[in-house]
Structure 1
């Protein structure tokens, strides 16, 4: 399986001629990531994780594209792309389903707290093919499984470095790559990545930096 990272939280997975895209948001190269896609997974409603007009246009222009997302996101997308409403599926945590030939399991249910005065929204973390885990905006650790490839939200209004490192330690994946880094400059990213790489290695996780459009074979 090939993994390509795009800016911020967007990741594209490819295998056997099938393409699955996670969180194509407004900070990302959304049109490029969605080109030729067969399915899209959305963790939650924030714009940096879903560019609704771009995703709706992709659904309308590609009759084979399906979208999976929390109920509120699914409802909004159906309104924007009514011609594709039957290909927009609501996801609850604790479920398993097939998305364009990829086996997907869902976890979590709630976005991490930003501030008590900012409403908390639904958030779904996705494990793809028992390998890649994208938590969205959450540090929920999947229960009862071993994650091989962890996508780590390294910076956000809702987290701090100690929580990022503890998430990596808790999951204990074989390998890890950063997501949610669109608000960091090179200095800040290097600082956080240094902690994740050094401390994560003590617990068996190999952290590797990926820039936008970099790809790895899993």
Structure 2
């Protein structure tokens, strides 16, 4: 399976002619990620994870486009109601040939004054796990973890605890658009050192880079 990063939390997975995109948001290269794509998974409603304009354009260009997302996201896309399937935590489904399992259910807490929204983490083909904006650890083995390295709702210690708990063979960064290069260097250094102690190979992907995540 090939994994390509398109900025922030957006990734594209490809295998044997099947391709899907997760979280094409406004901080990512959403239009590029969605080009020629039939299948999209969205973790939650925040704009850095769902670019409504890019999704609408993709649906207009491709009549076969299908989207899986929480109910709150579906409500944001009334013009695409015929292509959106609502999902919650604890489900299993087939998305254009990819086996998908869902975990979590809610976004990580930012502050008591900020409403908590629905968030669904996706485990793809029992291999790649995208948690969205959460540190939910799935009740299933994870081979390749996508780790939110910086957010208004997290601190570095929580990022490290999440990665340790997953015990993934390898991990790549997501949710990195809010950090400058200096900040990324500090966080990456901690993650590489601590993750390595627990057997996880943490690597940094540049936007547009593709890697083979096959076991």
Q: TM-score, normalised by structure 2?
A: 0.97
Check conservation: 1:70, 1:123, Cα contact below 8 A: yes
Is 1:92 the counterpart of 2:95? The answer is no
Please list the CA deviations of residues 34-90 of structure 1 after superposition, one character each: whole Å capped at 9, or x if unmatched: 01111000000000000012112211221111000001101221x1x2xx4222100
Q: Counterpart of 1:108?
A: 104
Q: Counterpart of 2:160?
A: 165
Is 1:190 the counterpart of 2:179? The answer is no
Query: CA–CA distance in 2 between the matches of 1:111 and 1:159?
Result: 11
Please list the CA deviations of residues 161-181 of structure 1 after superposition, one character each: whole Å capped at 9, or x if unmatched: 000000000000000000000
Q: Counterpart of 1:42?
A: 42
Residue 194 of structure 1 deviates from its aligned partner by 0.8
Which consecutive segments of 4 or more residues in structure 1 shift more than 3 A?
none
Q: Counterpart of 1:75?
A: 75
Is 1:129 the counterpart of 2:125? The answer is yes
Alignment RMSD (CA, Å)? 0.8
Residue 108 of structure 1 deviates from its aligned partner by 0.3
Query: CA–CA distance in 2 between the matches of 1:76 and 1:151?
Result: 26
Q: TM-score, normalised by structure 1?
A: 0.96
Query: CA–CA distance in 2 between the matches of 1:152 and 1:138?
Result: 9
Gap regions ≥5 residues in structure 2: none
Query: CA–CA distance in 2 between the matches of 1:216 and 1:39?
Result: 20
Q: Counterpart of 1:205?
A: 200
Where in structure 2 are the equivalents of 1:50-65 lying within 5 Å?
Answer: 50-65=50-65
Residue 186 of structure 1 deviates from its aligned partner by 0.8
Aligned residues between the structures: 213
Query: CA–CA distance in 1 between the matches of 2:72 and 2:129?
Result: 22
Query: CA–CA distance in 1 between the matches of 2:118 and 2:61?
Result: 28
Query: CA–CA distance in 2 between the matches of 1:184 and 1:214?
Result: 19
Check conservation: 1:18, 1:37, Cα contact below 8 A: no
